[in-house]
Structure 1
Amino acid sequence: MKKVLIVLLFTIVVGTVSAQEGGKQKLENAKIGLITNRLNLTVEQSQEFWPVYNEFDGKKKEIRKQMRKLIAETNTLTTPDEKILSNIRETLNLQQKEVDLEREYMNKFLKVINVRQLAELYKAEQMFTQMLLHRLNKKATPERSN
């Protein structure tokens, strides 16, 4: 019963905050809601989990931002071959850095949540990404009325 009240309260707070904030914050709130729901976190777990997750997520976003920048630099017609090769190598290094980050935080997560919750975290992140892609595709290709 306690968990149900916490989830209900969280949903109300997220809904209220979402109505007041921009799209990016709405996405973050939706992601938090999905992960919280899927992992079925206790109050104690939640208090320990979210600071670790937010730190992890921030580092992961920074790595991906760097990769996007390198890819954008590589996709120009005037980029010299040496620079393209250098960017490809650096992108591979960043991908390895992301894998290393995943391993590091797997151990940190396991100090807070159990292995089943960790597996569910990975599924929830994939599910959220798929939901976003589905919504983006739906907006990009509106249904035609006959």
Structure 2
Amino acid sequence: MKIKNILPLLLFLTSFSFFAQNGKIDEKREKIKAFKVSFLTTELELTSTEAEKFWPIYNAYDDKQFDLKHLKMKTYIRKLNDDNINNLSEKDAVTLLSQIESTDKELYVLREKYMASLKKILSAKKILKLKKSEDDFNRKLLQQYRDKAGKD
């Protein structure tokens, strides 16, 4: 996995564990999602026609990606803590590795379909701007989390 792929996963897992501690995961996720929509809307400067086509595609992709990471990766992460890794048989380790690779492939295929859909409605320049804006949003969210954690 490249570092670019690991950062969003770490951000997700970190923010997920933080929100789980508060017991309001869905509420927090919805707030983040609303903040992200606002942020991306401002950054992308979509026309009304682009926005009408973009948001359903983006939301479907975002939800599916969340489900894959949340439902599957969460299970893997629990198995990957130091105690569990040391107690895994080689056969179980091979199985777990295969499951992780399968989920990575699902995420990759999902991303390919998403990009193909975006290319039909947005210019290459706006797609690049979207990627940059998502990265900026993730950094901003991580910084807010760090700032809040530092105050506690």
**Deviation (angstroms), 1:85:** 3.0
State TM-score, norm by structure 1.
Answer: 0.75
Q: Give the number of the structure with larger relative contact order, counting CA–CA contacts within 8 Å between residues 6 or more apart.
A: 2
Identity, % of aligned positions: 23
**Deviation (angstroms), 1:75:** 2.2
Q: Which residue of 1 aligns with 2:50?
A: 45
Residue type of the partner of 1:88? L
List runs of 5+ in structure 1 lacking aligned partners.
Answer: 1-20
Q: Is the 8 A contact 1:74 1:87 kept in 2?
A: no
**Deviation (angstroms), 1:72:** 1.0
Q: Which residue of 2 aligns with 1:135?
A: 144
Q: Which has the higher helix share?
A: 2
Give CA-to-partner distance per residue, 1:93-126, whole Å, 9 cap, x none: 2112212211111010111111111111111111
Residue type of the partner of 2:65? K
**Deviation (angstroms), 1:24:** 2.5
**Deviation (angstroms), 1:37:** 1.2
Q: Which residue of 1 aligns with 2:115?
A: 106
Instruction: Give me the whole-angstrom Cα distance separating, in 1, the residues matched to 2:74 and 2:138.
Output: 17
Change (3 A) 1:123 1:47: same
1:1-146 paired onto structure 2 within 5 Å: 22-65=27-70, 66-75=72-81, 77-78=83-84, 79-81=87-89, 82-142=91-151
Q: Which residue of 1 aligns with 2:6?
A: none
Please identify the structure whose Cα radius of gyration is greater.
1
**Deviation (angstroms), 1:132:** 1.1
What's the Cα RMSD here?
2.0
**Deviation (angstroms), 1:48:** 0.8
Give CA-to-partner distance per residue, 1:42-81, whole Å, 9 cap, x none: 1111111100111111111111111122121232635522
Residue type of the partner of 1:141? G
Q: Which residue of 2 aligns with 1:9?
A: none
Length, aligned pairs only: 123
Q: Is the 8 A contact 1:71 1:87 kept in 2?
A: no
Instruction: Give me the whole-angstrom Cα distance separating, in 2, the residues matched to 1:83 and 1:112.
Output: 44
Change (3 A) 1:40 1:25: same
Higher mean Cα deviation, 85-94 or 48-57? 85-94
